[in-house]
Amino acid sequence: MSPETGTLYQHPDRNLGMELVRATEAAAIRAVPFIGRGDKNAADGAAVDAMRKFLGTVEFDGLVVIGEGEKDHAPMLYNGEHVGSGEGPACDIAVDPIDGTSLTAAGRQNALSMIAVADRGAMYDPSAVFYMEKIVTGFEGHGVVDLNRPIGENIRALAKAKNKDVSDMVVAVLDRPRHAQLINDIREAGAGTRLMLDGDVAGGINAAMHGTRIDMCVGTGGTPEGIITACALKALGGLIQGRLLPSDDDERQRAIDAGHDLDRVLHIDDLVTSDNTYFVATGVTDGQLVDGVRKHGPAIRTESIILRGRSGTVRRVVAEHLAEKWL
């Protein structure tokens, strides 16, 4: 309680995100020589090495529970790896040194380096079910949209909640053959689409942030990406709903054996049980969320975003790094 104003406030505490951003900056910078060179694994390997080294300087006990590369056998910070100094808070950590390795290799936009962190044991364990159906919106979607409803109904309901015409609504979807009918249904409902080549984490965050052109992000994407998105949305007040979608009978049986209800709709507090979350991302290539790495004379410029669940803050960090220090 402030004696002058009589208002309540929280005592400022350590913002772990301000330390983690050094790891995503390093990963993004190290990936730059591989942009447009056609070798996504070389880009990923350089980013992984840089991220691992910088994470080692952070005073926390980080346990990698979502390790980059598991789906496609790329270089990885592996599940079960401990990162950080080993001292300080015990945390779950999800890493993706490059979200969008194919984008990086092709020189396309929207590649990111990112990290999500929550209290130890807070992140959902999908038991190796790598894909899920998802819907993500801003705060207006609470009590309004439902993953079980047809997409047209959700678009119309969210448009009403946002006081927008349906024709002004924009829905982000991964550009995949599996989404052909979904894309058609969105357009038949009267809304526009933003087709993403990769990176539905950024699509989900843009759907939840104020002042962007994206109103909703939907479709089938990675379960790890859904959990990472949930960490980010804790700071934005946004909505995410998901449902596990096994890709074959073996994966389905493993999920059932692990006790998962495959009909259950998972909400944000199912995906991340704690509000003490951080999401940190640095642009590798230019995108809607952040700009990519750029070199200006002797300096390397990076742009990052830091979302903190406990305080509900969004910070943008623009840094200039002396290029000769990165040789």
Residue 101 known to bind ligand: yes
Angular region, 249: left φ>0, alpha ψ -120 to 50, beta rest: alpha
- How far apart are the C-alpha atoms of 320 and 119, rounded to whole Å? 31
Q: Which helix (H) or strand (E) holds 282?
A: strand 278-283
Residue 178 known to bind ligand: yes
Residue 119 known to bind ligand: no
Long-range contacts of 295-298 (CB under 8 A, 24+ apart): 295/323, 296/320, 298/322, 298/323, 298/324
Residue 198 known to bind ligand: yes
**Beta pairing class for 61-66 and 82-83:** antiparallel
Contact indicator for 282, 25 with CB cutoff of 8 Å = yes
CA 74 to chain centre: 19
* Tokens encoding 318: 């623009």
The values of phi and psi at residue 8, to 5°, are -85, 145
Task: Label residues 112-124 b or e (16+ Cβ within 10 Å = b).
Answer: bbbbbbbbeebbb
- How far apart are the C-alpha atoms of 257 and 65, rounded to whole Å? 20
Residue 99 known to bind ligand: yes
- How far apart are the C-alpha atoms of 40 and 54, rounded to whole Å? 21
- How far apart are the C-alpha atoms of 18 and 26, rounded to whole Å? 14
- How far apart are the C-alpha atoms of 150 and 10, rounded to whole Å? 42
Q: What is the DSSP secondary structure assignment for residue 266, as one 8-state letter?
A: B
Contact indicator for 99, 109 with CB cutoff of 8 Å = no
* Tokens encoding 195: 């087709």
* Tokens encoding 184: 């058609």
Residue 222 known to bind ligand: yes
Long-range contacts of 160-163 (CB under 8 A, 24+ apart): 162/138, 162/215
Residue 44 known to bind ligand: yes
Q: Which positions make up the binding site for Mn(2+)?
A: 44, 68, 96, 99, 225
Q: Which positions make up the binding site for substrate?
A: 99-101, 131, 176-178, 198-200, 222
Q: Which positions make up the binding site?
A: 44, 68, 96, 99-101, 131, 176-178, 198-200, 222, 225
